[in-house]
Structure 1
Amino acid sequence: MAERMHATDTQNTSVPSEKAVDVGYYSPAKRSPPSLPAGYVLHQVTVQPLSSCPFQVCLLDVGATGELPTCDFHRIRDTTLIIACSSGELAAKTQLTLLDGGVDDVVDADDADLLLLALKRAELVISRQGGLFRKCRDLAIERDNLQSAIDNLPSPIFFKNRAGIYSGCNKAFEAFIGLPASKVNGASVYDVAPAELAKVYEAADEELMQQGGVQIYEADVCYADGERRTVTFHKAVTRDRVSGEVNGLAGSMLDITERKRLEEQLKWAAERDALTEAYNRRRFFELAAAAKERAQKTSASLSILVLDVDHFKLINDRYGHACGDAALNHLVGLLKRELQEPHIFARAGGEEFYCLLEGCDLNEAFEIAERIRMAVETVPHLHDQQLISMRVSIGAATVREGEKISQTIARADEALYSAKQAGRNRVCVA
């Protein structure tokens, strides 16, 4: 919808068309166009809106008064550079008004030298804009390639600016958070996570951006479905390419919930007796060593009980090993009832158990042991509708200064032997 027009015959014949610069011209008053310098070809724009102008430079006739026409030329500002052409030199105030009105330059079209300078300026601007456009295009391609790459990664990935505001993420993060990227970008952690978790993330982010480098830590997260999971955060600061200042961070999340669950199961299995689920012998010695250290710091007492089921072999022989196993679990239930924190117990092996009594001297240990003995005696085990009576013998000893836990257990074991020798179903102290 543009009509080609030559300023002069000489201009048309002296400049090869493939090297000429095309320039549009629009005059609301239908005035004749100015003569262009060599190397430029004028094209009359005859239709509205001016958004149909296909040229990078367009001369807009403003006459002698410099009044902007009512045409819709702002719609072409993204692709066309507009030069207001006046008939004669305009006052500086009028030129400023035109520039404020949206044109890119103002020139007296009657002055060929000034017109040439304006066209050259326009070419330089367009050239620079082209370079910027290419850079922006290349950056957009890089951004799209990066986005495509991280969108195909299974781990949630996110980006934040220096203020801690999300500036990007991948598809996995969208799925985790339950929001599209358009809702994530511009949000803070308080917009996407419960407040108690958001405080943890915010503090970690600020620490990282203050110190720089990388950051790895474990934390709970809340998935879109409300499920709490445990993840490992891997974060690193990002820096401004020019100043080198920290301008944000990039992070990823690795869901370790199942790994933590398996670790807990393995830890539990390593510490527990498979039959009764009481602590095992190894774990007892670990806990006893820690309790001894605490007792030494506070000058508190620490006592140990060694407990053995009387005539346990007869239970196995008469009722079977299944009944014997059930009887041991019955005993564990009674020990749980009688021994409250910080006291603990463990199955040492077979029908023998150790009890660790924190803050108890020998007299207090004897009282607790007697309470356990009576509970076992008065609460029989029910197996296959039969009440099976059980009895226990217990030896008690208090850890002495400079004594190893194993030595205290040995003394308690001697006291247990004394209880057995004295007729069983009793407590003896060392």
Structure 2
Amino acid sequence: MTSVATERLCEGSASVTVGYFGKPEEPRPSVPAGYHLQLLDVASTSPADDLEICLVSVMPDDAGAGLRRVRAAVGEMCFVVAYVRDGLGADWMPRLLDLGADDVLSETTADQLGLVLKKAEKAADFRCRMRRNLSRAESERDVLQAAIDNLPSPIFFKNRQGIYSGCNTAFTRYIGLPADRVKGASVYDVAPEHLAKVYEEADEKLMQEGGSQFYEAKVLYASGEERHVMFSKAVTRDQSTGEVNGLAGAMLDITERKELEEQLRRAAEFDHLTGAFNRRKFFKSAGEAEAEALEKGAGLAVLVIDVDNFKSINDRHGHAIGDGALCHLVEQLGDHLSEGHFFARAGGEEFFVLLKDCDLDAAAAMAESIRRRIETSIFSESGVVLNYQISIGVAALERGETVSSALMRADKALYRAKEVGRNRVFVA
């Protein structure tokens, strides 16, 4: 609410109301022309709530307490003049300023009241204009807040210490906290420690270096799910000094994009039926292993595995059982091969295995142990109990030979195993 006095002050009117807090029986000070003295009771704060200037009669028996009561009644925006009655020594003057007065006037210098009120009027006018500016700024802030609240992307602001100073509705929905719990909080108050540390380090790096920043990170969604987001941040600066005083940031949820990327990666590297590496991934990894073995002078060996009589399994039990048998083989290979070795489905019922740091004898022994494992294992699905066998061709890379060339030799050894009765290992 704006008082009459406020309007007069802001409009430059010649008549200004001055609230006077004193006892009715006391003689009131004479105010110069252009001022109107209004007697008020400190017990009734309503008339004093919007005063711009007030004069407080300060008595020896109630100086401090009385002044504090008036200040509490009129608020911080009112210019309070302590009018000191006889009986208070000069030492009270600075104490009254500490107790809440903006200026002090002694009863013995009442002729200076006009000068004091003029000074109060100028201060009140300044405060009035500041209040209008503040009101305008608050209005602009509210418009800005309403605007960002309607944006779908989560937006946030932080000060130089990394404390949240604001956010939009999308941000509160995303992290599942109301705005009043976000404002004034740190990242450790709104996120798990392992994620908060990432944000804190990125924020500090940005505010030290300036400019803008883009990076991907995880965020704990309101449901408790961790989601992938792209952070876009930029520093904010003090308009007068140019110093960094915080940052503004926005989040773009890229979870679906990351999931699609993972699906595409798996499609490019993994066999969709068995979950084993595919042929493309095998040769990429084999090329890396080949270069590493050449550098270290280590041995490499390959196995080519084929399921015996696989067509008859499909014809007798159906393709679903045949597919299950291939998945069973992949599980057995995964359990049997030690870390460092890897395998892939080459196509159909054929699989490639690459054995690192392995010579021909060790590779043959590994192949035989795989063959026995499959021969003695039982696969059961949909009421069908199946015992099947495999044949394996083995080759060790010779000096200067590539993995592809060794696989061709192992493949020929596999066909020799098939020709002489299957369920066996042949070495190239």
Provide TM-score, normalisation by structure 2: 0.82
Farther-moved stretch of structure 1 (56-65 vs 364-373): 56-65
Q: What are the ranges of 5 or more consecutive residues in structure 2 without an aligned counterpart?
A: 1-11
2:3 corresponds in structure 1 to: none
Q: Read off the aligned partner of 1:414 and give its amino acid letter.
A: K
Determine the C-alpha separation between the residues in 1 that align with 2:65 and 2:424.
Answer: 113
Check conservation: 2:22, 2:41, Cα contact below 8 A.
Answer: no
Farther-moved stretch of structure 1 (254-263 vs 132-141): 254-263
1:41 corresponds in structure 2 to: 35
Residues 330/35 of structure 1: CA separation in 2 closer, same or farther (3 Å cut): closer
1:349 corresponds in structure 2 to: 347
Q: 2:17 aligns with which of 3, 13, 22?
A: 22
2:186 corresponds in structure 1 to: 188
Q: Read off the aligned partner of 2:32 and give its amino acid letter.
A: P
> Given the alignment of the two structures, is residue 237 of structure 1 paired with residue 235 of structure 2, yes or no?
yes
Overall identity of the aligned pairs, in %: 51
Q: How much has 1:398 moved relative to structure 2?
A: 2.4
Q: Alignment partner of 2:91: what SS?
A: helix
Determine the C-alpha separation between the residues in 2 that align with 1:82 and 1:380.
Answer: 96
Q: Alignment partner of 2:165: what SS?
A: strand
Check conservation: 1:66, 1:98, Cα contact below 8 A.
Answer: no
Q: After superposition, what is the alpha-carbon deviation per residue over 1:40-80, rounded to whole angstroms, capped at 9, x for unaligned?
A: 13233154436324642223345899967837321114343
1:57 corresponds in structure 2 to: 53
Q: After superposition, what is the alpha-carbon deviation per residue over 1:92-148, rounded to whole angstroms, capped at 9, x for unaligned?
A: 534323323322222357768733322221122112212221222222222222322
Check conservation: 1:62, 1:86, Cα contact below 8 A.
Answer: yes
Q: How much has 1:385 moved relative to structure 2?
A: 5.8
Farther-moved stretch of structure 1 (302-311 vs 68-77): 68-77
Matches within 5 A, 1:276-355: 276-355=274-353
Determine the C-alpha separation between the residues in 2 that align with 1:199 and 1:335.
Answer: 40
Q: Alignment partner of 2:112: what SS?
A: helix
Q: C-alpha root-mean-square deviation of aligned residues, in Å?
A: 3.4
Determine the C-alpha separation between the residues in 2 that align with 1:386 and 1:132.
Answer: 86
2:8 corresponds in structure 1 to: none
Q: After superposition, what is the alpha-carbon deviation per residue over 1:255-282, rounded to whole angstroms, capped at 9, x for unaligned?
A: 3334333332332233222333322111
Check conservation: 1:66, 1:94, Cα contact below 8 A.
Answer: no
Check conservation: 2:77, 2:127, Cα contact below 8 A.
Answer: no
Q: How much has 1:355 moved relative to structure 2?
A: 0.9
Q: What are the ranges of 5 or more consecutive residues in structure 1 without an aligned counterpart?
A: 1-16
Check conservation: 2:51, 2:74, Cα contact below 8 A.
Answer: no
Q: How much has 1:370 moved relative to structure 2?
A: 1.5
Check conservation: 1:65, 1:86, Cα contact below 8 A.
Answer: no
Farther-moved stretch of structure 1 (234-243 vs 366-375): 234-243
1:248 corresponds in structure 2 to: 246
Determine the C-alpha separation between the residues in 2 that align with 1:335 and 1:55.
Answer: 87
Residues 36/271 of structure 1: CA separation in 2 closer, same or farther (3 Å cut): same
Residues 180/386 of structure 1: CA separation in 2 closer, same or farther (3 Å cut): closer
Q: Read off the aligned partner of 1:398 and give its amino acid letter.
A: A
Residues 215/296 of structure 1: CA separation in 2 closer, same or farther (3 Å cut): farther
Check conservation: 1:62, 1:69, Cα contact below 8 A.
Answer: no
Residues 242/396 of structure 1: CA separation in 2 closer, same or farther (3 Å cut): same
Check conservation: 2:290, 2:402, Cα contact below 8 A.
Answer: no
1:73 corresponds in structure 2 to: 70
Determine the C-alpha separation between the residues in 2 that align with 1:158 and 1:396.
Answer: 61
Q: How much has 1:32 moved relative to structure 2?
A: 4.1
Determine the C-alpha separation between the residues in 1 that align with 2:257 and 2:186.
Answer: 29
Check conservation: 1:301, 1:360, Cα contact below 8 A.
Answer: yes
Check conservation: 2:237, 2:244, Cα contact below 8 A.
Answer: yes
Q: Read off the aligned partner of 2:369 and give its amino acid letter.
A: R
Corresponding residue pairs, total: 413
Q: Read off the aligned partner of 2:212 and give its amino acid letter.
A: V
Check conservation: 1:393, 1:426, Cα contact below 8 A.
Answer: yes
1:414 corresponds in structure 2 to: 412
1:399 corresponds in structure 2 to: 397
Check conservation: 1:177, 1:192, Cα contact below 8 A.
Answer: yes
Q: Read off the aligned partner of 1:20 and give its amino acid letter.
A: S
1:159 corresponds in structure 2 to: 157
Check conservation: 1:107, 1:115, Cα contact below 8 A.
Answer: yes
Residues 251/118 of structure 1: CA separation in 2 closer, same or farther (3 Å cut): same
Q: Alignment partner of 1:134: what SS?
A: helix
Q: After superposition, what is the alpha-carbon deviation per residue over 1:2-35, rounded to whole angstroms, capped at 9, x for unaligned?
A: xxxxxxxxxxxxxxx9532333344426344444
Q: How much has 1:367 moved relative to structure 2?
A: 1.0
Check conservation: 2:31, 2:37, Cα contact below 8 A.
Answer: no
Q: After superposition, what is the alpha-carbon deviation per residue over 1:367-421, rounded to whole angstroms, capped at 9, x for unaligned?
A: 1111222333344655776665534332222234543332222232233234344
Q: Alignment partner of 1:140: what SS?
A: helix
2:273 corresponds in structure 1 to: 275
Q: How much has 1:348 moved relative to structure 2?
A: 1.1
Provide TM-score, normalisation by structure 1: 0.82
Determine the C-alpha separation between the residues in 1 that align with 2:20 and 2:113.
Answer: 13
2:427 corresponds in structure 1 to: 429
1:170 corresponds in structure 2 to: 168
Residues 183/57 of structure 1: CA separation in 2 closer, same or farther (3 Å cut): same
Q: Read off the aligned partner of 1:168 and give its amino acid letter.
A: G
Check conservation: 2:231, 2:252, Cα contact below 8 A.
Answer: yes
Q: How much has 1:354 moved relative to structure 2?
A: 0.8
Determine the C-alpha separation between the residues in 2 that align with 1:35 and 1:276.
Answer: 101
Determine the C-alpha separation between the residues in 2 that align with 1:44 and 1:211.
Answer: 59
Q: Read off the aligned partner of 2:53 and give its amino acid letter.
A: V
Residues 94/334 of structure 1: CA separation in 2 closer, same or farther (3 Å cut): closer
Residues 414/234 of structure 1: CA separation in 2 closer, same or farther (3 Å cut): same
Residues 178/329 of structure 1: CA separation in 2 closer, same or farther (3 Å cut): closer
Determine the C-alpha separation between the residues in 2 that align with 1:383 and 1:48.
Answer: 91
Farther-moved stretch of structure 1 (317-326 vs 60-69): 60-69
